Amino acid sequence: MDLIAVQWGLEEFVSTPHATTRLLEVGLSHISTVLPIFHEPTLRFDQIPRELSASFLCIGLLICGDSSAHEIGCTLLHRLREETLRFAQTVIMKIDHHLCILQAMLVIEVTGMYYANRIAVELSDIFHGTLVTLARRLGLFEPDHQPSRLIERQSTDEKWQEWIHKECLKRLAYFIFVVDVQHGMLFSHDRCITSVFTLKLELPCSRQTWQAMDTRQWLSLEKSAVPRPLRFHELQQLLLSSYESYQNLPELDSLGSYLVLSGMASVTIDSLQRRNDPFFDNERVIECLRARLPVIYRGLIIQPKNAMKNHGLMTYYMSLISLCTPPDDLERASNSGFSLTGAASTEQARAAMVRLLTRNKVGPDSARHAINLLRIYIPASLDTFSPFEASALYLGALTLWAYALGLGYDPQVFDIIYEQSELETMAALEAIIETGDAVECGKHWRRIVGYISERLGAMKNDNAREYSEVLYALGGARK
């Protein structure tokens, strides 16, 4: 509570222990669907550092739907970021003692990227570099070669606690990497982890084992767990090797598929950055990724519906779209570039538009991927609420806009648009892709972009509202 001054109004939302606990629970419950790095069965709010508690409180304030709470959450986030940075600069971090601080730093970063105001997005990019540096220095991306302490003398409870600690560290490392990929894929930020082979860790345990409520349940699940012979960098190597090799991939659950797809998205981003390198065979890499991405997709799509599955599908479709058309070209051509820190210049917008109509032209396949990307979040559902929703809706809409322009759609022509549901409009748009009718494509695009613009405009975070303004302008609609 001392992280923020009372005059900012926080006491209104934490006036009782029950109200405070409720916000903390809302924050933890939500962030765990984005960052499954916390062992909820053993997590106690009264036993964790104030920085981690404050990060959960911050999320709770930002997503509770109250405008005043959102403003206070942004202020708390800024103060919390300063406090944790100061701590990292003055204290020598140790894995055994500062896991909660590192977890809090990742929550702070993700909160700034997706839930707060515009300045928080830019500061998260800067903050990310510090977290990656700490992770490298602590060896989080490397396997733990230290044997478990005094295995023969440990009680079962002690073994479980040590296992929880190591699993938390592993998951923290993975999601630092995933967030790094999202910086590049959704915001076109420069990345700090440039090689997919940086992570040399086993995949996280199953969801059932992670959610074990006590030692007995954990032991039972651990004994029946399927061995995971390949580490992350070995899985990526297998995928990028010969056809015969990647057909022998082990089965992956939703989380494992999401992580592996994030690795392939990392390779995709790297290929975009190196596409003009004369010593880099970009065409071969693109061909390889187009063949390998569906291998993971086929295992993911049959998984039960859950948050990790949706995040994995978002990563899959964004990767396929990016292989043909860099997202930063879509933004610059729309003369916005909000994810790129401000509006694009006229020259940048013109050059990007030329590329969209020539070498980076959006084809039917990319347009279909964009429709499938939108279907993850349309129609709106509490079950699919995700921090990636705003970026996915925005970039999906821009991809379809670029496709319509490539067909010859004239944005100055305003046809009558008959009322349809969002799903009916997307189905009609998908059917039109088969025919290549520019007028019909543009008409249905304007219908769906009107819905997306309204949806983004109603969100609390600044990026979503800026995306909404861009789409309103492109669609020729009035707010």
Tokens coding 470 = 């861009």
Q: Is residue 148 part of a domain?
A: no
Q: Are residues 192 and 306 in the same domain?
A: yes
Q: Indicate if the pLDDT at residue 462 is higher than 70.
A: yes
**Mean pLDDT value across the chain:** 86
Q: Are residues 113 and 204 in the same domain?
A: no
Q: What is the C-alpha to C-alpha distance for residues 425 and 429, in angstroms, rounded to an integer?
A: 6
Q: Is residue 204 part of a domain?
A: yes
Instruction: Enter the DSSP assignment of 253.
Output: -
Q: Is residue 145 part of a domain?
A: no
Q: Are residues 427 and 470 in the same domain?
A: yes
478 vs 170, residue with greater confidence: 170
Domain of 448?
A: 325-479
Q: Are residues 337 and 446 in the same domain?
A: yes
Q: Are residues 133 and 186 in the same domain?
A: no
Report the candidate in 325, 420, 409, 338 with the shortest Cα–Cα distance to residue 378. Answer: 420
Provide the pLDDT for residue 207.
Answer: 93
Least confident of 223-227, 424-428, 430-434: 223-227
Least confident of 141-145, 257-261, 468-472: 141-145
Q: Are residues 287 and 182 in the same domain?
A: yes
Q: Are residues 128 and 180 in the same domain?
A: no
Q: Are residues 176 and 318 in the same domain?
A: yes
Q: Are residues 315 and 214 in the same domain?
A: yes
* Number of CB atoms found within 10 A of residue 73's CB: 31
Tokens coding 401 = 């806009």
Task: Report how far apart, in Å, the C-alpha atoms of 102 and of each of 50, 79, 355 are.
Answer: 13, 16, 41
Last residue of a domain, one of 302, 324, 346: 324
Last residue of a domain, one of 282, 306, 324: 324
Give all strands (DSSP E) within 309-468, no chain letters: none
Q: Is residue 79 part of a domain?
A: yes
170 vs 330, residue with greater confidence: 170
Q: Is residue 150 part of a domain?
A: no
Q: Is residue 146 part of a domain?
A: no
- Chain-centroid distance, C-alpha 258: 10
Q: Are residues 294 and 331 in the same domain?
A: no
Chain segment 237-251, per-residue pLDDT in tens = 888 876 555 666 788
Q: Are residues 79 and 165 in the same domain?
A: no
Last residue of a domain, one of 108, 138, 168: 138
| Nearest-10 Cα torsion for 419, 420, 422, 424 | -160
Instruction: Enter the DSSP assignment of 7.
Output: G
Assign 48 to helix, strand or coil.
Answer: coil
Provide the pLDDT for residue 382.
Answer: 59
Q: Are residues 42 and 127 in the same domain?
A: yes
Q: Is residue 159 part of a domain?
A: yes
Chain segment 5-54, per-residue pLDDT in tens = 434 456 666 667 788 888 899 999 999 999 999 999 999 988 888 889 99
Q: Is residue 147 part of a domain?
A: no
Chain segment 39-49, per-residue pLDDT in tens = 999 999 888 88
Structural domains in the chain (count): 3
* φ/ψ (deg, to 5) at 156: -60, -40
Question: CB burial class (10 A; 0-12, 13-18, 19+) of residue 91?
Answer: exposed
